Amino acid sequence: MLEVRNVSVRYDKAIVALECVDFAAEKGGVVALLGPNGAGKTTLMKAVAGMLPFEQGEVVEGNITFEGKRVDREHPAVITRSGIALVQDGRQCFRELTIAENLRAASFVHPNGAEERLDTVFRYFPFLKEMQERQAGHLSGGQLQMLVIGMALMGNPKLLMLDEPSLGLSPVMVQGVFNIVEKMHRDLGMTVIVAEQTVPRLLQIATDVYVLSRGRVVMHTSPAEADQDALQRVYLS
């Protein structure tokens, strides 16, 4: 479904963020994208989503294709409409709007079928339905995480990318988030890429594992082979 081939990324035409990265996501898979802080995980996701130009970044080499079509030169809106959704680590939403208003705003990308998708979001996140008139700025970190995932679903994505969804959450909330990700993948057949530093729960649901370090892919393996000892050696190298 997604192919990243020999991609290199620079910021401000000088700072090397990714170097000759090869990466792929099979349709219906769950890809764990692991690596320490500064490894290039977020940059890779933003390259796929077309977000780099907003941060003076650019793909200077290689290409990115989604369902056979090249997307690395496309505008983010075009990429979003093609079926790629990125949930960034800042839990970005309209904090002054209610939960319901945020979800409706997120449906503008694909207005057809919005009511059915809203029902789907409420099925996975019942608290969003119960609290839909609450202002987003009054939600906890875990509740915000679930809201922004719900907003991504409102765009009817084929590929959902989550950038460190566990960041700042309690262990119980982390478990809840990954339980929902697993259920969405199973029920909807959605392809999912999750970037994390390391989360054992993620490796339980992943079908493929890539590890980045200093802007390069240093490991591509099965979840069974991505044990803590192997990851620790990469992180400390």
Query: What is the distance between the alpha carbons of residues 149 and 74, in angstroms, rounded to a whole number?
Result: 23
pLDDT the model gives residue 47: 96
Write down the residue that tokens 């950038």 correspond to.
Answer: 163
Task: Give the residue carrying structure tokens 């904090």.
Answer: 95
* Residue-averaged pLDDT of the chain: 90
b/e map of 205-229 (b: 16 or more CB within 10 Å)?
A: bbbbbbbbbebbbbbeeebeebeee
What's residue 29's pLDDT? 94
Of 168-172, 200-204, 212-216, give the range with the top mean pLDDT. 212-216
CA 26 to CA 9: how far, in whole Å?
23
What is the strand order of the sheet 57-66 is part of?
A: 15-25, 2-11, 57-66, 69-70
Q: 117 to each of 90, 112, 156, 159, how far by Cα in Å? A: 23, 9, 7, 15
Helices (H) and strands (E) in the chain, counts: 9, 10
The residue-averaged pLDDT of 143-154 equals 92
| Amino acid code (one letter) for 131 | M
The yes-or-no verdict on residue 167 having pLDDT over 90 is no
* pLDDT band, residue 157 (cuts 50/70/90): very high
How far is the CA of 153 from the CAs of 67, 87, 156, 230, in angstroms?
Answer: 19, 10, 5, 34
pLDDT digits (tens, 9 = 90+) for 127-140: 999 999 999 989 88
Per-residue pLDDT tens digits for 48-104: 999 999 989 999 999 999 999 999 989 999 999 999 999 987 778 889 999 999 999
Q: Give me the pLDDT at residue 171, please.
A: 86
* This model's pTM is above 0.85: yes
Alpha carbon distance 12, 30 (integer Å):
32
pLDDT of residue 236: 67
The residues near 122 (Cβ < 8 Å, ≥ 6 apart) are: 128, 129
Q: Tell me how far the alpha carbon of residue 236 is from its chain's centroid.
A: 25
Chain segment 107-127, per-residue pLDDT in tens: 888 888 889 999 999 999 999
> Is the pLDDT assigned to residue 233 strictly greater than 80?
no
Cβ atoms within 10 Å, residue 105:
14
Residue that has been written with the tokens 């970044």 in this structure: 57
| pLDDT above 70 (res 237) | no
- Band (11; pLDDT cuts 50, 70, 90): very high
Q: For each of the domains in the chain, give its residue range(s) and CATH number, in order of start.
A: 28-52+74-236 (3.40.50.300)
Nearest to 81 by CA among 62, 109, 103: 109
